Amino acid sequence: MKNILRNILLVGLLFGYVSANNDWPFVCKLSELSAFKDKRYFGVGANRHSPLIIADSKTIQIDKKNKTIKVWTTWLASQEGRDDSIQSTGKYYNYNNFGYRKVMIIIDYGTLRFKKISTIEMNCDGTNITSVEMDDTLKQIVPGSVIERITYEIMKKYNLK
C-alpha cells in the first residue's frame, strides 16, 4: 500500500500537480486507486478539479507522419471536482462516489488542436457512472490550458517535435 501512495504522490510531486502540504488531495481512498500504480501511467497535468491527470502509455497511439496522438487519460478528482460533478450532473446520475473520469483525447500536435472522443465517469471502486461520446470537432488548444500541458508532457516523453 505504501508503494502505491508513494508512486501516485511521487508522480504528482515531480510534476508539481500535488502540493507537498496536501496530505491526500483525491476523493478516492488509496486502496481504490491501486490500479494506477502500474508504471504504464505517467503524470501529464492537473487542475483544481483533478489534482493529478495521468496518461496510459499502453493506449497511446502516435502517428508521427500526421502529428497526432490518441490517448486515454485519467483525471483523478478532488473533493471540489466531485462536488461540482454532483451539482452539475448529479441530478441525472448518482455521483456520490465519483472518483475520476477517463477521457479519450486525440491531439494534433502539428496544428495544436484537439478533440475529446469519449468520457467515462467512474466511481472510486472502478464502476461506471455514465459514458458520453463527444463532439468530433477539433478545437484549438488554449495556451496555458490543461490540454496544452498534457500535449507537451506527452511530446516530451516520446520526443515528438
The set of cell numbers assigned to 18 is 500535488
The model's pTM = 0.86
Q: Which range marks the domain in which residue 28 is found? A: 2-157
Split into its structural domains, the chain has a count of 1
CATH code of residue 150: 2.40.128.710
Q: Which pLDDT tens digits describe the chain residue by residue (161 residues)?
A: 455 555 666 555 545 555 555 578 899 988 898 888 888 999 999 998 999 999 999 999 999 999 999 999 999 999 999 999 888 887 788 888 999 999 999 999 999 999 999 999 999 999 999 998 887 789 999 999 999 999 999 999 999 99
Backbone angles phi, psi at 39, to 5 degrees: -65, -10
Residue pointed to by grid coordinates 516523453: 157
Q: Rounded to an integer, what distance in angstroms lies between the CA atom of residue 128 and that of residue 118?
A: 13
Q: Rounded to an integer, what distance in angstroms lies between the CA atom of residue 127 and that of residue 97?
A: 10
Q: Rounded to an integer, what distance in angstroms lies between the CA atom of residue 59 and that of residue 62?
A: 10
Residue 74 CA, distance from chain mean position: 3
For residue 22, how many other CB atoms are within 10 A of its CB? 13
